[in-house]
Copies of this chain bind each other. A is one copy, B any other.
């Protein structure tokens, strides 16, 4: 998160937002945010979101996730918003959307993730 310049912007029970300002060294060959970076912020948001519902002494681990890249990720800021769909004792299912926000404040969803997080106690 530090390496790419991302930061937590919302923390609620079961909901996390991570904000990432655009940086040209995070892009792929066409100048859009790289799919791996999109996944990094989506997965981090998803993990933290699941973690907000877990016992205090536990740790969270990503089991798996699936990402659909829906539009070229171009914008001045990117926001990954994760929401817990089902919080279980061992496994949780989380959904995360990644939005691109233009200089004029226009917001467009560019990717969506569905994944499984594990609680380790």
Q: Which residues of A, 38-81, contact B by the 8 Å Cβ criterion?
A: 39-41, 43-44, 59, 61-71
A65–chain B nearest beta-carbon distance, Å? 6
Q: Chain A interface residue count: which class?
A: 35 or more
Do residues A30 and B59 form an inter-chain contact, with CB atoms below 8 A? yes
Q: A44-B36, A114-B114 are in contact. Are A86 and B109 (CB under 8 A)?
A: yes
Q: Considering the chains assembled together, what is the distance between the CA atoms of A41 and B39 in angstroms?
A: 12
Closest 5 pairs between A and B when the two form their complex, measured CB to CB: A36-B40, A66-B66, A70-B86, A64-B68, A114-B114
Residues of A participating in the B interface, judged by any CB pair closer than 8 Å: 2-3, 25-26, 29-30, 34-37, 39-41, 43-44, 59, 61-71, 85-86, 88, 90-91, 93, 95, 109, 112, 114, 116, 118
